[in-house]
Amino acid sequence: MSPESARRDCEPRRPQPNAPVLRTAAMIASLDAEGYELVEAPFGHALVDLAGKDPRVLGLTADLAKYTDLHIFAAAFPDRFYQMGMAEQLLFGAAAGLAREGFLPFATTYAVFAARRAYDFIAMQIAEPGLAVKMVCALPGLTTGYGPSHQATEDLAIFRGLPDLVVVDPCDADDILGMVPEIAAHPGPVYARLLRGRVPRVLTRHCPDYRFVLGKGRLLREGADVLAVSTGLMTMRALDAASLLAEEGIGMAVLHLPTVKPLDRELLLAEAGRRRPLLVVMENHSVVGGLGEAVARLLLEAGAVPERFRHIGLPDAFLEAGALPTLHDRYGLSVKRVAERIRQWLVGGGRTSP
């Protein structure tokens, strides 16, 4: 711990003069989704629907059923629900054993606990033998204000490194509802980030015929000035920022990649080949090891490097605790901050104002 960090941790927090009083609860995964329809516990309800059609489906959790929406499944199928306690290694080890016996286990916990506490068990018991365990993990990236102990800002980097593990980062309720049957049909292991509770329905509002397809992306919006390549909740931010920028005459295309591994290579190269003045990758994850680096490598190896490449993500740092709207603004994930940075990059690139 640096001296500056130690000083911040030990000193009392003093309110700033005239600072607004923030009342947002730290654990509420508020996505600041004003104007969007909200869907209650889409993962829990999608899993119940799947289990009604497939008797192999089981639900397991590490003392977090209520906080991963698995309590919906537990109420509907109590004989197929397993509460493993605060033991993530046991959770994933048991899921591996059940998969070997022909079941289809969905294992839930917080993303940070799966990535940090249970990585070796996931690697050796699930990924290496290629078992069909579906790991669906809540509080991805900066979707909680509880600080570094609960913020999974490096989970994509960790799990992208596991061979043959599919990695999914859904944007909204539409993605989650479509994701559950798709990952169930995949014969191998899957790690999926989870937005829980009341989740906004974003994608079908902007693209009415949108449908989640594992391994595929979708161009949601056209634009001649910027290509935003995004995943997870940052697709919502990109779409909202694109609407703001359109009022200024700036056209931003939005390419949504809900599957982070494997990437939709064909679509990404096709859109990058259209040579817009600016390509921006956006993700709710550290700038180290996530979607940004995956996209940059693909483009570099394909000889399709854009004129200007920029990256919006979380800093390579342990983040502060606090209210989510404040943290999203501080770390550049809010709609306002996204629009500001794109505007600045376009001006810096020599684009004339409309």
The reply to whether 128 falls in a domain is yes
The answer to whether residue 21 sits within a structural domain is no
CA angle at 108 for the pair 220 and 60, rounded to the nearest 5°: 135
Any idea what the CATH number is for the domain that residue 287 is in? 3.40.50.920
Confidence of residue 31 (pLDDT cuts 50, 70, 90): low
pLDDT (tens digit, 9 = 90+) per residue, 58-71?
999 999 999 999 99
Residues 225, 193: one domain? Answer: no
249: left (phi over 0), alpha (psi -120 to 50) or beta: left
The answer as to whether 105 is a domain residue is yes
Residues 195 and 235 both lie in one domain: no
**Domain-terminating residue out of 201, 224, 249:** 201
- Average pLDDT over the chain reads 91
Of 352, 353, 351, which is closest to residue 277 (Cα–Cα)? 351
Q: What is each CA distance from 113 to 97, 180, 183, 252, in whole angstroms?
A: 20, 21, 21, 36
Q: Which of 151, 167, 201 is the last residue of a domain?
A: 201
Q: Can you give the pTM of this predicted structure?
A: 0.91
Tens of pLDDT, residue by residue over 9-29, are 434 334 444 543 333 333 444
What value does the mean pLDDT take over residues 326-350?
93
In a shared domain, residues 73 and 139: yes
26 Cβ contact partners less than 8 Å away, ≥ 6 residues apart = 144, 145, 146, 321, 322, 323, 324
Provide the pLDDT for residue 348: 79
Identify the domain containing residue 60 by its residue range.
Answer: 37-201
Q: How far apart are CA 122 and CA 188, in angstroms?
A: 13
pLDDT at residue number 33? 80
Number of domains in the chain: 2
Question: Do the domain assignments include residue 13?
Answer: no
**The domain boundary residue, chosen from 167, 201, 235:** 201
The pLDDT value recorded for residue 354 is 31
- Residues 159 and 270 reside in one and the same domain: no
pLDDT per position as a tens digit, 229-247:
999 999 999 999 999 999 9
- 43 and 170 share one domain: yes
Structural domain contains residue 208:
no
189 in the same domain as 50: yes
What's the mean pLDDT in 95-112? Answer: 98
- One domain for residues 325 and 288: yes
Which DSSP string do the residues of 26-76 spell out, in sequence order? TT------TTSEEEE-HHHHHHHHHHHH-TTEEEEESS-TTTTTTHHHHHH
Rounded-to-integer distance, Cα 13 and Cα 19, Å: 13
Mean pLDDT, residues 254-264: 98
- With a pLDDT cut of 90, the percent of the chain lying above it is 88
